[in-house]
Amino acid sequence: MAEQSAALLKAEGVYKYFGAITALRDVNFHVASGEVLGVVGDNGAGKSTLMKILSGLYAPSEGTLIFDGRPVHFGSPRDARNMGIEMVYQDFALAGNLPIYENIYLGREPGRRLGGLTIIDRRLARKMAAEHLDRLKIHVKSVDQPVEELSGGQRQAVAIARATAFDAKVVIMDEPTAALAIKEVGKVLDLIKSLKHHGVAVIIISHRMDDIFYACDRVMALYQGTNFAESPLAATTRNEVIGWIMGTKGHTDSLAHDKVH
Ligand SMILES: Nc1ncnc2c1ncn2[C@@H]1O[C@H](COP(=O)(O)OP(=O)(O)OP(=O)(O)O)[C@@H](O)[C@H]1O
Ligand SMILES: [Mg+2]
């Protein structure tokens, strides 16, 4: 499959055990640059566990990760990040009391080394943050605004800006719109599309079919820790995907007229 050979990040035969629980069972996964992949599945299906493996938080119990054609072993999220794989967590993991620009660079601020210390260049950090937000068409009053003053959608946007500030190649988002008001959802989804147009591989976990069908190129469904089904969006329907989440396949002929493009 052409898609497969162009995969930037792949997982082959991944298992993850938590004590007696098998959270993932022989899972295969791939995503390409410039592709938005939706990952769906019921609660406990293994979605977050798979993403935590892809972003270096967990090691797989068995199986292989392949990045850019080479097997990789991530000892920590930092290892994955160094390769350009970033995860935006469900709770955004932002520091509410700090200004936007500091959240974007948290721990990776531009500056110069002086002895064992890094002297942070705040003017440069502000300028770089403002330029980066501009590139992503994220509008904030000022990069000096503390994150706790922002709406849910703006916070999500800052979390995405943080994830993409260092030339990310893969951005993984766990439920990026779950906590947002409806009017903020569209902006975040458009931001996801703009990452795609910058060539980033984007993976979104979502329970919302509207998000999946608006933003994704392809959808994969996990069911009880296994690959259940996957399809380009243009070749499936909402009802079919909802069926996959519940562990059913087929019987969709009568729904063929419901096809969504
Ligand atoms: N750190 C952990 N320790 C023990 N069990 C875990 C851990 N993380 C996940 N699990 C278990 O692994 C399975 C998959 O969980 P996971 O969080 O990946 O599901 P999910 O698809 O993300 O679900 P949700 O939609 O509810 O977020 C569940 O049975 C869960 O209880
Ligand atoms: Mg989850």
- Ligand 1 centre from 245 Cα, in Å? 15
Banded pLDDT at 92 (limits 50, 70, 90): low
**What is d(CA 168, CA 164) in angstroms, rounded to the nearest whole number?**
5
Tens of pLDDT, residues 7-57: 999 999 999 999 999 999 999 999 999 999 999 999 999 999 999 999 999
The reply to whether ligand 1 has any atom less than 6 angstroms from the CB of 204 is no
Per-residue pLDDT, averaged over 118-131, amounts to 86
Tens of pLDDT, residues 179-228: 787 878 888 898 899 899 989 999 999 999 999 999 999 999 999 999 99
Domain boundaries, given as residue ranges, for the chain: 2-95+167-258
Tens of pLDDT, residues 58-70: 999 999 999 999 9
The reply to whether ligand 1 has any atom less than 6 angstroms from the CB of 174 is no
Helix (H) or strand (E) holding 51: helix 47-54
Handedness of CA 139, 145, 148, 149 (dihedral sign): negative
| Probe target for ligand 1 pocket from 14, 18, 42, 90, with the most ligand atoms within 8 Å of CB | 18
- Ligand 2 centre from 166 Cα, in Å? 25
- pTM value surpassing 0.85: yes
HSE at residue 167, side-chain half, CA atoms within 13 A, is: 2
Tell me the pairing of strands 170-174 and 85-88: parallel
The reply to whether ligand 1 has any atom less than 6 angstroms from the CB of 206 is no
- Ligand 2 centre from 40 Cα, in Å? 10
Q: What is the DSSP string of 190-256?
A: HHHHHHHHTT-EEEEE-S-HHHHHHH-SEEEEEETTEEEEEEEGGG--HHHHHHHHTT--S--GGGG
* Structure-token pair, residue 256: 């063929």
* pLDDT attached to residue 34: 96
**What is d(CA 93, CA 9) in angstroms, rounded to the nearest whole number?**
24
Which atom number of ligand 1 is nearest to the Cα of residue 51? 18
- Ligand 1 centre from 44 Cα, in Å? 5
Q: Domain spanning 2-95+167-258 has what CATH number?
A: 3.40.50.300
